Amino acid sequence: MGKFTYDINKYEPKQMVALPLGLLIISIIFLAFNTFSTGMPVEPGIDFAGGVAVTVFTTDSQEDIKAFFSDYPLKSIGESVNDGYYLVFDYLEDDKFRDLTKKVLDKYPDAKVDQIGETFGKTLQSQAVWALLIAFILMAIVVFVAFKSFVPSAAVVISAFSDIVITAALMDVFGISLSLGTTAALLMLIGYSVDSDILLTTRLLKRKGNLDEKLRGAFRTGFIMTTTTITAVFAMFVVTAVGQVVIIRDISAVLLIGLFVDMMNTWMLNAGLLKWYLTRKGGYRNGR
């Protein structure tokens, strides 16, 4: 890997797990506080909270648009290509929604107006939560069946759980709302997380040799795997950010955050737990 090296073998297990466990605890407290105060762990987008989405193409400035819609609960203005704007309003009652639609189409005849009801949004919230839970439970079952050993399997599951929790907390910190797209990104993140964790666990448990050498080899392969993925996702983020393709930009942003979090959890939390487990079993001393 050139000049970059990370000798994970020189750290004690408790040193390796301290930072990721600390961040996991802080993230859980942060998300719990959000849930208690707002009802959702992460700020919900229009998909889950309900509201009105308006797409217009105009040379008007954002200030002009804000002034024009000053009588309506305008939440955000996103810019798009070809002088396009993506406007999001809070949910409106039917009369108010009809007034807004008329006002929009009178000034911007080519505009597109969509409203998602609060009830439908709550249904989507429930379905998204179930999708994440089912994906996580199925992943955990596959991991336990594959390794048939509690500590290594639990380490993989804890690492994947930490990836999701810390990423969700950082989404709120960076102002990325929870939408259908970002929920899909969190589901994809479970897959990415388990890939690197299974690589590490398989190298340490299934292969013969010195533990230090197996850790070093697993890190080299895993680091290359994750950094190539980060490079591709970063390119997608830049292109969609410039083009203001909001949904793909948010998906790639969540994946970028999650991949960096996964590197920390895999090579500090999971590797630290596995090193502790194998050392206790005697594998470290016996050079398994």
* pLDDT for res 1: 54
Give the number of other Cβ atoms within 10 Å of residue 75's Cβ. 14
Mean pLDDT per segment of 10 residues, for the chain of length 288 residues?
Answer: 62 89 95 86 80 84 85 80 78 84 85 76 78 86 86 90 93 88 88 87 83 84 90 92 81 94 92 88 52
Q: Are strands 74-80 and 51-57 parallel, antiparallel or unpaired?
A: unpaired
Distance CA 90, CA 34 (A): 20
Q: How many residues does the chain have?
A: 288
**Long-range contacts of 6-10, Cβ-Cβ distance < 8 Å, separation of 24 or more:** 6/219, 6/223, 6/267, 7/216, 8/215, 8/216, 8/219, 8/267, 8/268, 8/271, 9/211, 9/212, 9/215, 9/216
Distance CA 199, CA 204 (A): 9
Is residue 269 a contact partner of residue 157, using CB atoms and an 8 Å limit?
Answer: no
Write down the pTM of the prediction: 0.81
